[in-house]
């Protein structure tokens, strides 16, 4: 359909269309032509002046939760203005529209609900999923972020309350990676919830039932994935915050069949690898010479470990040698062969050792150079734990990645190691002052990876996302940390530069896709100019016509 084939909305219908509405920025001529006279105050404002008003409102809000609610209302009435604000200061707004504020949002999502965004595909739609997906008004969806709400930010199973996650994740595709928002679709697969308190909550919006048996769930997911290929054939499925065993199973099932990506597994692995690459450049050491201890043995730990094994193999180790350098602990203790509760994926990292639940004892035995927390157990890296890591290593690498409560804070890590720790957390901490020294803790957050990866996939249109591409994303990010930044202990580029970082990563990943025969479009002469030409820009286009700022394609 061309824009000329669709009648643009007029009057109040236009003001209620968040994709085309520009509020007080409609010109006098546009107001007369589009039936808006008398419906707006007489002053005509620029987008910048509108953003100024929004920022003043946000400054007056007492909490980030209130700021999230305000921004949610803004995107419902004027999407262009929403992205103008987010893209003006990503370092400020990412923690509001995503972690850590989103954790609070998801706990109360059904209570905060205002109006629908995205799609809810529930078990009672089995047999009709393709039909239901066709209700979405945009035919060319390129990124579909889907969750069951089975494991959200350390909150456990919160069912349909998890919808806030795909909404926020896809907003970062645009705000950080300039992926056009009209190409994205958040989806909640409502399979029920194990959370009895939610099922009893009269305001809960999801199915009030337990999740189905595995066989029924597998059939439901298979129908969903097949329906996406039918209805949105160019779409990349982004799996997000599924229960760990489901996350691993579905990634393995579909990664070689369809264009898909699991951010909890592959995104966490990639951003962790990027931080490790930078930390080891500071130390002057190789990845293959490290010993890794993970607190946590779920999908994030396993996905990161598998990627580390691949990366260490590239440095000359065998798979068995690389796996031998990775040790895991979880709530039941050391991952070792006598445990009968291990999954097949965990058993790959079960090394002969006496059982123990003592993290300090394990550190003394293993003598790790890298300590990674993906346990959701806030505060688990105690002072004795961190001090022992500093006793064993001149520059201990400590990555407490759990969100929203990391295993230790930046201030604790620097204080307990006399400033020697190379530190990154899953959330952003402020800089730490110790005497005359300034420490700038890194944030190993996946938003450093998936927006740039998404922009490259949007542009080059590969059929699959491979481990090689995910590893390349890590190196593309690490290579943007300058030697001067490394000298200040920085492991990631500044968040204030996130858009340029993601575009640069996207160009590098597009080069990789073309070089490896994975792209399905012709190679341009100038990849950077080609990528930048596809980037979304938060500005007002022509009313009723498609523009880069419009969320509704012709």
Catalytic residues: 98, 169
Number of residues that make up the chain: 554
- Which is it for strands 432-434 and 422-425: parallel, antiparallel or unpaired? unpaired
Instruction: State CA 362 to chain mean position distance.
Output: 31
CA dist., res. 425 & res. 3, Å (int): 46
Give the C-alpha separation, 161 to 163, whole Å: 5
CA–CA gap between residue 121 and residue 132 (Å, rounded): 8
Q: Which two tokens stand for residue 164?
A: 């806030």
Please report how the helices 244-254 and 299-313 are oriented relative to each other, as an axis angle in degrees rounded to 10. Answer: 40
CA distance readout (Å), 543 to 81, 135, 181? 15, 24, 17
Peptide bond into 404 cis (omega under 30): yes
CA neighbours within 13 Å on the CB side: how many for 153?
26
Q: Which of 234, 170, 238 is nearest to 521 (CA)?
A: 234
| Beta strands per DSSP E along 251-350 | 260-262, 292-295, 326-330, 333-334
What is the spatial distance between Cα 215 and Cα 405, in angstroms, rounded to a whole number? 34
Distance of alpha carbon 73 from alpha carbon 202, whole angstroms:
24
C-alpha 456/C-alpha 70 separation (Å) is: 31
What is the spatial distance between Cα 409 and Cα 393, in angstroms, rounded to a whole number? 19
* Partner residues linked to 146 by β-bridges: 187, 239
Q: Which of 481, 509, 510, 473 is nearest to 497 (CA)?
A: 481
**Residue 110 gets which letter from DSSP?**
H
Beta-carbon count within 10 A of 256 CB: 9
Nearest by Cα to 421 from 399, 448, 446, 443: 399
Contact between 268 and 248 under an 8 Å Cβ cutoff? The reply is no
Please report, for residues 97, 190, 205, 250, 290, the alpha-carbon distance to residue 371 in angstroms, rounded to integers and kept in the order given: 29, 36, 40, 28, 11
Laid out side by side, the sheet with 260-262 consists of 119-122, 184-190, 143-147, 236-239, 260-262
The secondary structure of 457-492 as a DSSP string is HHHH--S---HHHHHHHHHHHHTTS-HHHHHTT--S
**Which tokens sit at 105?**
């949002």
Q: Is 222 helix (H, G, I), strand (E, B) or coil?
A: helix
């Amino acid at each position: 359909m061309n824009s000329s084939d669709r009648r643009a909305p007029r009057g109040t219908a236009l003001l209620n269309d968040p994709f085309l509405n520009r509020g007080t920025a409609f010109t006098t001529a546009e107001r007369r032509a589009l039936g808006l006279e008398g419906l707006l105050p007489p002053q005509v404002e620029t987008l910048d002046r509108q953003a100024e008003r929004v920022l003043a409102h946000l400054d007056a809000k007492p909490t980030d939760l209130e700021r999230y609610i305000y921004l949610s209302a803004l995107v419902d009435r004027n999407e262009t203005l929403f992205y103008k604000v987010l893209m003006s200061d990503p370092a400020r707004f990412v923690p509001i529209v995503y972690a850590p504020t989103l954790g609070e949002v998801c706990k109360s999502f059904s209570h905060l609900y205002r109006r629908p965004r995205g799609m809810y595909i529930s078990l009672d739609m089995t047999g009709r999923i393709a039909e239901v997906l066709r209700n979405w008004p945009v035919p060319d969806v390129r990124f579909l972020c889907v969750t069951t709400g089975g494991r959200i930010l350390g909150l456990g199973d919160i069912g349909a309350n998890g919808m806030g996650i795909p909404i926020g994740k896809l907003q970062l595709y645009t705000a950080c990676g300039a992926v056009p928002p009209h190409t994205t679709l958040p989806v909640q697969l409502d399979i029920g919830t194990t959370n009895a308190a939610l099922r009893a909550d009269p305001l809960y919006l999801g199915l009030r039932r337990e999740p189905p048996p595995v066989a029924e769930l597998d059939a439901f997911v298979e129908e969903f994935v097949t329906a996406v290929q039918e209805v949105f054939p160019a779409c990349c499925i982004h799996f997000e915050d599924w229960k760990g065993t489901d996350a691993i199973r579905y990634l393995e099932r579909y990664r070689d069949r369809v264009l898909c990506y699991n951010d909890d597994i592959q995104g966490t692995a990639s951003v962790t690898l990027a931080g490790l690459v930078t930390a080891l450049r500071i130390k002057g050491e190789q990845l293959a010479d490290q010993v890794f201890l993970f607190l946590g043995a779920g999908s994030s730990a396993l996905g990161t470990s598998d990627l580390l094994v691949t990366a260490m193999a590239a440095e000359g180790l065998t798979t068995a040698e690389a796996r031998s350098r990775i040790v895991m602990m979880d709530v039941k203790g050391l991952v070792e062969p006598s445990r009968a509760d291990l999954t097949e994926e965990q058993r790959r990292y079960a090394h002969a050792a006496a059982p123990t639940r003592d993290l300090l004892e394990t550190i003394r035995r293993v003598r790790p150079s890298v300590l990674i927390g993906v346990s959701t157990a806030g505060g688990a890296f105690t002072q004795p734990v961190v001090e022992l890591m500093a006793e064993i290593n001149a520059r201990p690498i400590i990555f407490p990645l759990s969100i929203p409560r990391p295993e230790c804070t930046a201030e604790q890590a620097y204080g307990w190691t006399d400033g020697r720790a190379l530190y990154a957390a899953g959330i952003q901490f402020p800089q730490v002052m110790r005497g005359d020294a300034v420490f700038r803790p890194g944030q190993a957050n996946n938003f450093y990876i998936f927006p740039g990866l998404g922009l490259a996939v949007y542009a080059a249109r590969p059929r699959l996302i491979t481990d090689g591409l995910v590893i390349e994303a890590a190196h593309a990010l690490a290579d943007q940390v300058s030697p001067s930044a490394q000298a200040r202990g920085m492991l990631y580029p500044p968040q204030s530069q996130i858009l340029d970082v993601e575009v640069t990563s996207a160009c590098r990943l597009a080069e990789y896709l073309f070089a490896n025969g994975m792209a399905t479009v012709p190679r341009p002469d100038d990849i950077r100019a080609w990528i930048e030409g596809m980037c979304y820009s938060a500005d007002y286009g022509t009313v009723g016509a498609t523009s880069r700022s419009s969320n509704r394609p012709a």
